Every structure is written in C-alpha cells, then in structure tokens.
Structure 1
Amino acid sequence: MQKMKSKMDVGTAAYEQIEKVNRRNQILVQELNNTPHTKTEIRELVSQITNEKIDETTEIRLPFYTDFGQNLHLGKNVYISNCSMFVDLGGIYIGDNVLIGPNTTITSVNHRVNPEERRHLNFKSVYIHDNAWLGANVTVTPGTVIGENAIVAAGAVVTKNVPANTIVAGVPARIIKTIKETN
C-alpha cells in the first residue's frame, strides 16, 4: 500500500482500498481485545494488524486500538499501556525504548475545516523519537514530533513539536523543564 501524502477524498479508489484494509484489521483488533492472549500472541496479532513484525522486546497491554494499523511503526523495547488509541492512517513512527501511558491517543489524521469537505481527510505523520515517555491520558495531534528523551506529562495535549530532552505539560503542552544529563 502506498503511503498517504496530504489528503484523501471519500469515494476514490484509494479510499476504498483503505476501507478494505480497515475492515480486515478491525476484525483482528476485535479478536485481540475480546479474548485472552499471551504476550507473544499479542505481538503476533499486532504484527498482522501493522503488517510489520513486532519485536519480542515490545510489550502491548490490552485493550489496544487502531483505526487502520498498517501505518503504525513500532521500534524495539516499546511499552504501550492499556486503552491506547492510534489513528495511524497518516503514519505514526515510534522509536526504541518509548513508554506510552494508559489512555493515550496519537492521531495522524484530521478532517478539513471547510464544511463542504468536512468528511475528507488530511494526513500528517507523527514521530516519537527514542526514549520518549508519554504519560497517562496524553493526546498527540497530527504532524507533531516528540524529540528524543522527551517527557509528555499526564493529560497534556501536544499540538506543537516537543524538543529533545524536555518535559512538556498542559493544554496545549508547553515546555516546563529541560532534562539535564547525569553521569
């Protein structure tokens, strides 16, 4: 499947292809969340959903939600807590050693502002770099980048890029502290 650029129109052949993948993956998501599974089985089902092998060092707690799945890319040693939602049609890229708290929503899709086009979609990829930590109930909006070693405090709404080695908090998220290296 080719990567989405910037927008998608309802009723096009490309949109229909997305719907076909989505129908298949929603069955897998339901299977994942509605029956007991081992950690290995969870990774295997999520690998089917994302169409990429999930590394054995990654742990995903259920329930796990995604609206598409095949544009979600997970690094190694990632921890995803329960009830997290990934709206990944526009691409979500998660680096190594990332921690994602419960009830986190990461979205790479938005609807257009013009009322006549409201059901049409715009895509902007989200990048979460190595060693980032997203607390509970965080929302990450389309097109944002969370830098290496950054921390997003619980309940924050990320609407702008988060620099590496910083802590952000609030709605919208703002820098509250710089992380200093310790030796």
Structure 2
Amino acid sequence: MTIRPIVITGEPVLHRRAEPVDAFDAALTELITDMYETMDAAHGVGLAAPQIGVGLRVFTWQMDNEDGVPARGAIVNPYLSPAKAPLDDPDPHDDVEGCLSVPGESFPLKRGERAGVTGFDVSGRQLSFEATGWFARCMQHEYDHLNGFLYVDRLNERWSKKARKAIKQHGWGKPGHSWMPGVDPDPFGHDSPDEHDL
C-alpha cells in the first residue's frame, strides 16, 4: 500500500481520455489499493486514476448514500448516463464542488441529480446501480476525470473566470505540479472527509 502524489491541473494525464483497463490482475488490485490509501490520506470522497498520474479508467469513492450502494467502492471501465443538469444558475453554497487536483479551491456547479452507473469491480464482476443526490455528483465528477475533464472545465462563464484566475495565481495550468497527501498541508484545511472534495 502506497500513498501517491496527486497531480494538479495542467498535468497532461488530467486532460486526456483515460485508456480502458484490459487486465483484472494483481497490478489492478495494487493500483486500487493505492488509490484508496491516497484518497483517505487526502480526505477526499473520490479519486480517479488520472489524478495520481495513471491514465486508466478506474475510480474509487468513499461516500455514504441512500441508493443501497456500499459507501466505499471502486469501479473499472465505468459508463455513466447522467440526468441533465438544471439550467438555472448554481447556488454558491448548495452546489459548491471541489477537486483534489485543483487543491484548496471550490466553485459552484450544477449537475444532474441522478446517474445510471455500470462497470466492473476489481475482480471483473459487473456492477450496475443508480446514484442520486451528492452521490450522483461524485460519480459524475470522477467519470469526468476519466474523459479528460475537471469540474472547473464545466463551470458557467462567471465561475469559470474566477477559476481561471485562481489557477493562474497558483501558477498551475502547466505540467509539474502535485501535492502529497499526509505530507503536505491539507489544501482544504480539514482533518476529516468533506463531501465536496472529489
């Protein structure tokens, strides 16, 4: 088990489509174990493989939900069919989202309230469930990572401008930036998981 550095926006692996997993083997089990360790150390509720520099279609989560889905899990080669997001402006308090690859920042974003999720577990058994509410948001956020998108790429014009400004102020947006959970100061300033840091 190894905690891995989390790469920050601007790292190429975050901005391209991840490749499908083609072997359900010991290397995949090790990757997912490391992802759990890293997610926990970062106080996140989700982590996609590209966030630790691995361009494969895998993500993990740790989130209580009302959908009958285990609170902790991993999905390989997932496919999501989300409900359409409402067209009204996001609420700057209720719709705020964060990302471990845009550490310490958070911005509001509307997402669909439901998402159908299919894929495979670490052993290659098929998974299929429906996610709702914040759990659906988590699924959509992590799935976006596998397709080369960060949540800041989906913000409306007002919040996108603020996000671009923050990223520029941090000196991000180019390769070579990362942070180490459990070693570097927690960028979100908390010691326990927060439902908004994905």
Report the TM-score range of the alignment, normalised by the length of the smaller protein: under 0.3
Q: Which is helix-richer, 1 or 2?
A: 2
Q: Whose relative contact order is higher, 1 or 2, with alpha carbons under 8 Å and at least 6 apart?
A: 2
Higher-Rg member (1/2): 1
TM norm structure 1: 0.27
